[in-house]
Amino acid sequence: MQKHIQASLAEAKRALDDLLANPQALAAIAAAGQTIVDALAGGGRIFSCGNGGSMCDAMHFAEELTGRYRDNRRGMAAIAISDPSHISCVGNDYGYDEIFARYLESHGRAGDVLLGLSTSGNSRNVIRAAEVARELGMKVIILTGRAGSKLEPLADVYVNTPGGRYADRVQELHIKALHILIELTERHFCPENYPEA
């Protein structure tokens, strides 16, 4: 059992080291952070979405902005598209591919940002959300684990964090990227929370 634990941690470390050594991915994370800061500074909101574990990450991202990440500060306008009644209603009436897009049709507007998570980059409901977001004049940030996906041409900022063969490593890198995005946002709006900067 110990050898499996060590192998798993070593694999995760390699994936993180690869991300740290990837200047294109780091530049994309920085661009995503600036996009979020610009939207919030202009009165916009950040909508996040994904499926399965990526939905959990989208929810985690939003609650860290509306709640608290490290130290006390005012809440920030972030919404995870995760309401079960909305998802079941739209899934039943329009199909699962429309669950995020329909929410954006109802609530999104120019100046907002969609943060979509898809480890494959090919999730049809995230693609539809990105299409609607662009129609509305929203900015689109995509976190994925693959280059050349169907979501790439729909993204204003495409953060690709390949973690290996399976989605779990990609999701582990996504949560690192999301925490960095939250920190960058806090550092901009609440520099007093980061006195060492």
Task: Answer yes or no: is 79 within a domain.
Answer: yes
Inter-residue contact 163 to 145 (CB < 8 Å): yes
Task: Answer yes or no: is 19 within a domain.
Answer: yes
* 52 marked as binding residue: yes
Radius of gyration from C-alpha coordinates of the chain: 17
Q: How confident is the model at residue 166 (pLDDT cuts 50, 70, 90)?
A: confident
* 122 marked as binding residue: no
Task: Answer yes or no: is 54 within a domain.
Answer: yes
Q: How confident is the model at residue 153 (pLDDT cuts 50, 70, 90)?
A: very high
Q: 144 is written with which tokens?
A: 């994925």
Q: 115 is written with which tokens?
A: 């943060």
2-47 confidence digits (pLDDT tens):
999 999 999 999 999 999 999 999 999 999 999 999 999 999 999 9
* 8 marked as binding residue: no
91-131 confidence digits (pLDDT tens):
999 999 999 999 999 999 999 999 999 999 999 999 999 99
> Residue 55, Cα to own-chain centre: how many angstroms?
9
Closest CA to 28 of 177, 146, 157, 148: 157
* 179 marked as binding residue: yes
Inter-residue contact 194 to 187 (CB < 8 Å): yes
39-60 confidence digits (pLDDT tens):
999 999 999 999 999 999 999 9
Tell me if residue 64 falls in helix, strand or coil.
helix
* 196 marked as binding residue: no
Task: Answer yes or no: is 5 within a domain.
Answer: no
> Range of 72's domain?
11-188
Task: Answer yes or no: is 196 within a domain.
Answer: no
* 171 marked as binding residue: yes
For the chain, percent of residues with pLDDT exceeding 70: 99
Q: What is the pLDDT of residue 162?
A: 85
Task: Answer yes or no: is 195 within a domain.
Answer: no
* 51 marked as binding residue: yes
H helical segments located in the chain: 2-20, 23-41, 53-66, 84-94, 99-107, 124-135, 167-189
Q: DSSP character for 153?
A: G
Q: What is the pLDDT of residue 197?
A: 59
* 107 marked as binding residue: no
Q: Give residue for tokens 């209603």.
A: 89
Task: Answer yes or no: is 3 within a domain.
Answer: no
Q: 21 is written with which tokens?
A: 């050594």
- We report the CATH number of the domain holding residue 81 as 3.40.50.10490
* 88 marked as binding residue: no
* 22 marked as binding residue: no
Q: How confident is the model at residue 145 (pLDDT cuts 50, 70, 90)?
A: very high
Task: Answer yes or no: is 161 within a domain.
Answer: yes
**Would the pLDDT of 165 be above 80?**
no
Q: How confident is the model at residue 164 (pLDDT cuts 50, 70, 90)?
A: confident
Look up residue 5 and give its amino acid: I
Q: How confident is the model at residue 196 (pLDDT cuts 50, 70, 90)?
A: confident
Tally of domains in the chain: 1
* 123 marked as binding residue: yes
